[in-house]
Structure 1
């Protein structure tokens, strides 16, 4: 895969389609331990991003596309998801710089910086039952594949698989961050919606990279 501005934009369109398709699932998961708006908020944000990609000239670099996505989500997604995903994308944009084509190392670095941004913004760690539980193993898997010579598609496939497992690992956890933490022990037994949406987004990126 040649990871240019055009392909990054196309991948984000794929993410928007996946988020829309799983909107009701994410709403249901969030109703179980939150306020039920996660799916609709994400759908609205990614729909707005697609509109901006349609209405304007395509940004010149992958970094600029990621920056556009970040500012769009921050301005249109309510709750905690907008700031968290927006910060992740801003950090990813900074990590890749102004290169015209992203390789596996740049993609892995972008994911690593995205995780750092989420942790800095949300003050969560592995085990808190948040998107960090999906993103942390995803970054580790992506970095490992990139370090051993894997390509962009392989890096994203590894990240997606690890994120899916990480999201599943949140089921028995008791939430220690966010609205779900108000439920205490009753938050156990449910998938964290932010971890699930993280896994869905990374799976969409991996499918686009194929």
Structure 2
């Protein structure tokens, strides 16, 4: 995979965010600021404009510019967290001209580590980590077992979906939702929902046997 393939992933993520903007905002309205969908949509539309306007020498450059764009355009927690994720991915990829499946998995693990460090969140805190960590773990396990990227990403999506659903009964321990205490239970976390879209976009857009 090169820069164009990663750009295709980001464009698909932008499309899914736009299509699910109202759902993400509704989830956030229940336990947060009611802006996750609109903020992330604005940020990803800005990313698409950057992808249309600029040329990139490496896959890492695509992800670095994406992270910087999200940090500068998305308010709330989403901008710093998603921005950190893409910036960490960029650093993990280095200056390589192409990315194979193990390198992509390593970069996604770096994204997870960045989100955990930035948000100080752990599994069970009712955050995007609850979907991202099981997805990254599933991706690593599938690739280690000899699965091609397409199949491994499908399993990662399923793991993210399960992680997202598992946030519903949790009491939030991080973010604005934590201010609600017990009242935060009963609602899926919007960050976990958007991370699931990120993995779904990868499963759709990235080459299956990279």
Which TM-score bucket, shorter chain as reference?
over 0.9
Q: Spell out the pairing of 1:5-154 with structure 2 (5 A cutoff).
A: 5-57=3-55, 59-154=56-151
Q: Secondary structure at the match of 1:98?
A: coil
Distance apart, 1:150 and its partner CA: 2.2
What CA distance in whole angstroms lies between the structure 2 residues aligned with 1:169 and 1:70?
28
TM-score normalised by structure 2 residue count? 0.96
Considering only aligned residues, what root-mean-square deviation do their CA atoms show, in Å? 0.9
Q: Aligned match of 1:189 in 186, 189, 197? A: 186
Distance apart, 1:106 and its partner CA: 0.6
TM-score normalised by structure 1 residue count? 0.96
Gapped runs of 5+ residues in structure 2?
A: none
Distance apart, 1:155 and its partner CA: 2.8
Distance apart, 1:205 and its partner CA: 1.3
Partner residue in 2 for 1:156: 153
Distance apart, 1:4 and its partner CA: 1.1
Aligned residue-pair number: 207
Q: Aligned match of 2:167 in 167, 170, 186? A: 170
What CA distance in whole angstroms lies between the structure 2 residues aligned with 1:159 and 1:42?
22
Distance apart, 1:201 and its partner CA: 1.2
What CA distance in whole angstroms lies between the structure 1 residues aligned with 2:143 and 2:49?
33
CA contact (8 A) 1:70 1:90 kept: yes
